[in-house]
Amino acid sequence: MAIEITKSTVLKEKPDAEHLTFGRVFTDHMLISEYDENGWGEWRIIPYGPFSLDPSCMALHYGQSVFEGMKAYRTPSGKINIFRPKDNFKRLNLSCGRLCIPRIDEEKALEALKELLRLEQDWVPSAPDTSLYIRPFIFADDANLGVKASQHYIFAIILSPVGAYYKEGLKPVKIYVEDEYVRAVKGGMGFTKTAGNYAASILAGEIAEEKGYSQVLWLDGIHREYVEEVGSMNIFFKFQDELVTPALNGSILGGITRASIIELAKDMGITVNERALSIQEVFDRHAKGELEEVFGSGTAAVVSPVCELNKHGEIITIGNGEMGKLTQKLYDTLTGIQWGKIEDPHHWTMDIEE
Ligand SMILES: *Cc1c(COP(=O)(O)O)cnc(C)c1O
């Protein structure tokens, strides 16, 4: 596959690893392809820079916009790994289907991403726990205020070096159980990565933060009873010999970290159940001393231990407020595979030179 590359004439200075934050610095180049009446056009790599958009650009008004998030990791031998990238492009197309956005060729997208990463490889940091965040996205760019599917789209991939998620080690977080606002409902767009789901979640996040909580636990939109997700992560509960995560029911995002954790836990001989889980069951089983660990899962944090849940003022502390053993073991195993430090029995990682 031929990709036209237009190199940037001035290269940016790379930030030092200690001062990396999330999503503020971008690399020198980006990948783009445009969709029109002839379908998706050629993939091109061009200098990173602003788009020129008509003020009536449809994505800005009606939110026809989807994205993905994954990472490239520097291994101890200096190679660059990407983690389950095919799953991300598959999910991007799943999101496209729901939002009437034309699907992309998943194999071509992967080849184009690898080409971009080979060009930008010096941007993949090597300090512990750092990585290069990959953000593919598609948005409608018809100049038209009519409410219907756009005829033109832009697909782009941008890259951003990110620092260690846990600067002071894996620290458990306090979670607020949200029983007023909901993130998504069945029949809506909850299973997709689309801009609007995030817009819907910001207010509850701000209110929780004012109360001293770092994330919200979303409940289902109909009963406000069944556990869905935490912030923009999937969630797991360890009750004695059972690890439970809510079943994918249409309103929950099917995380790739979630799928990986389910497989790793099974490898460890743990019973994993994907099922409906009510917040009442969580609190009841905590009262019986059966709730041992709670953690979120997602590409950014990998695993995020939870030490406290607050449901309308009723507060429970998980374990002794410290990270559980299984949470730690899953974190170590998954990050070990991603950074190429331990064996990868499921062949999840892909070398960009492959
Ligand atoms: C991206 C995302 C996740 C986590 O998905 P990963 O593939 O594991 O990164 C979970 N919930 C929501 C709402 C998300 O947008």
Nearest C-alpha to atom 14 of ligand 1 is from which residue?
232
Give yes or no for residue 302 CB within 6 A of ligand 1: no
pLDDT at 21: 84
Take atom 15 of ligand 1 and give the residue whose Cα is closest: 232
**Is residue 257 in contact with ligand 1, taking CB distance under 6 Å?**
yes
**Atom of ligand 1 lying closest to residue 260 CA:** 8
Atom of ligand 1 nearest to the CA of 234: 10
Q: Check pocket membership of 69 for ligand 1, CB cut-off 6 A.
A: yes
Given a contact cutoff of 8 angstroms between Cβ atoms, the answer to whether 28 and 11 are in contact is yes
201 lines ligand 1 (CB under 6 A): no
Give, for ligand 1, the residue of 98, 183, 218, 234 to mutate: max count of ligand atoms closer than 8 Å to Cβ.
Answer: 234
Both tokens assigned to 199: 């817009």
- pLDDT for the residue numbered 117: 98
Q: Is residue 256 in contact with ligand 1, taking CB distance under 6 Å? A: yes
The pLDDT, as a whole number, for residue 206 is 96
Which residue has its alpha carbon closest to ligand 1 atom 5? 255
| Per-residue pLDDT, 48 | 98
349 C-beta neighbours (distance < 10 Å), count = 20
Predicted local confidence at residue 167, as pLDDT: 74
Determine whether the shortest distance from the Cβ of 234 to ligand 1 is under 6 A. yes
Which run of H or of E encompasses 295? strand 291-298
Q: What is the pLDDT of residues 27-63, one digit of tens each?
A: 999 999 999 999 999 999 999 999 999 999 999 999 9
With a CB cutoff of 8 Å and minimum separation 6, the contacts of 17 are 125, 126, 127, 130, 163
User: Which amino acid residue places its CA nearest to atom 6 of ligand 1?
Assistant: 255
pTM over 0.85? The answer is yes
Report how far ligand 1's centroid is from the alpha carbon of 232 (Å). 6
Residue 170: per-residue pLDDT:
84
Cβ(85)–Cβ(64) below 8 Å? no
Cα of 258 to ligand 1 centre, how many Å?
A: 8
Q: Tokens 């690898």 sit at which residue? A: 114
Those residues of the chain that have pLDDT short of 50 are: none
For residue 344, give Cα distances in angstroms to 203, 269, 271, 327, 336: 39, 17, 21, 19, 9
DSSP string, 186-251: TTTTTTS-BHHHHHHHHHHHHHHHHTT-SEEEEE-TTTS-BEEEETTBEEEEEETTEEEEE---SS
Question: Is residue 298 in contact with ligand 1, taking CB distance under 6 Å?
Answer: yes
Find the largest Cα–Cα distance for the chain: 64
Q: Residue 2 has what pLDDT?
A: 82
Atom of ligand 1 minimally distant from the CA of 201 = 13
Ligand 1 pocket residue status of 193, Cβ below 6 Å: yes
Residue of 182, 216, 227, 233 to mutate, ligand 1, most atoms within 8 A of C-beta: 233
